[in-house]
Amino acid sequence: MNAPFPSTPGVSDSDPRLPLQLMIAAPRGFCAGVDRAIEIVERALQKYGAPVYVRHEIVHNRYVVDSLKAKGAVFVEELDEVPDDAPVVFSAHGVPKTVPAEAERRKMLYVDATCPLVSKVHRQAERQIEKGQHILFIGHAGHPEVIGTMGQVPEGRITLVETVEDVARLEFGPDDDLSYLSQTTLSVDDTREIIGALEARFPQIVAPKAEDICYATSNRQAAVKDIAGSCDLVLVIGAPNSSNSLRLVEVAERLGTDARLIQRADEIDPSWLEGVGTIGLTAGASAPEKLVREVVDRLSDWRQVEEQVVTSAEENMVFKLPRQLTD
């Protein structure tokens, strides 16, 4: 008589699925700015009734946007798509000064859901311009936050820098009064390299009083660093136009771990699990926890999942709502 196969720890003898270690990063998912922006739209719907218009996606997540659409939010690209008598919310990414100015000219009811940490960068930009400095802004061209921040200052007073190579092409000299700022959702490591290149080429450049990359972006990248080295694959839940989510993929890949960006669990290809014993899981700052659990359930369809939450930082940040929605 043949001896039975030894049991696999954590797997029932009657369960044919292979075990899968799932390391779930913490913190992950919604940050305080995203929580605040979503609540602003929901409170505006409660206070003013549907429809409430939202200029651009309130946050970069299709699930969130579709959920708010179902409640009566209408998403548009520009203010000229909004009737004069309808309330409008500006997205968490921030907007150029021309947008609220146009809303005021039209006597529109608007609510600004710009993340307070993005607004802080806007105020720093204004102060640097007041001091006569030309701003070198580190960010990604076309991103709503970049458009919003560059739109805080007069044209020609701010220059976008995307890479270390861009620094070498700048046409400023040692006598130019320069300062720098950065987008809040960048790679911590990439931004550090660009700042190093700026400071090496322009020793006179003035740094912001505090780092511009937000706490949530830094924390989520650090959390991925803590797990990626122990994983065969890292899954990042987020939208393809979400800067902070894309950076999480890059962080894992820099550590030599395969990483994939997904929006929902149904995008997971079971072939990705072939030869994989440990998966890391995280979510960008615009992705709700519901989508994390959805992914865990999907993986459990194919494998015997053993979850382990790896916490690298605790977050308790809360941002106040605009007074017009709380009075």
DSSP string across 42-68: HHHHHHH-S-EEEES-SSS-HHHHHHH
Q: How far is CA 60 from CA 128, 132, 138, 240, 285, in A?
A: 29, 34, 20, 9, 9
Q: Rounded to whole angstroms, how far apart are CA atoms 149 and 169? A: 22
Question: Which of 9-18, 98-107, 114-123 has the weakest average pLDDT?
Answer: 9-18
Confidence tier at 5 by pLDDT (50, 70, 90): very low
Instruction: Say if pTM beats, i.e. exceeds, 0.85.
Output: yes
Q: Residue 147, exposed/middle/buried by CB under 10 A (0-12, 13-18, 19+)?
A: middle
145 is an active site residue = yes
Q: Which of 42, 57, 145, 211 is catalytic?
A: 145
Strand (E) or helix (H) holding 34: helix 32-48
CB 280 within 8 Å of CB 23: yes
- pLDDT tens-digit map of 258-291: 999 999 999 999 999 999 999 999 999 999 999 9
- Predicted pLDDT at 190: 94
Q: Is the pLDDT score of 125 beyond 50? A: yes
Mean pLDDT for the stretch of residues 310-316: 96
Q: Is the pLDDT score of 9 beyond 90? A: no
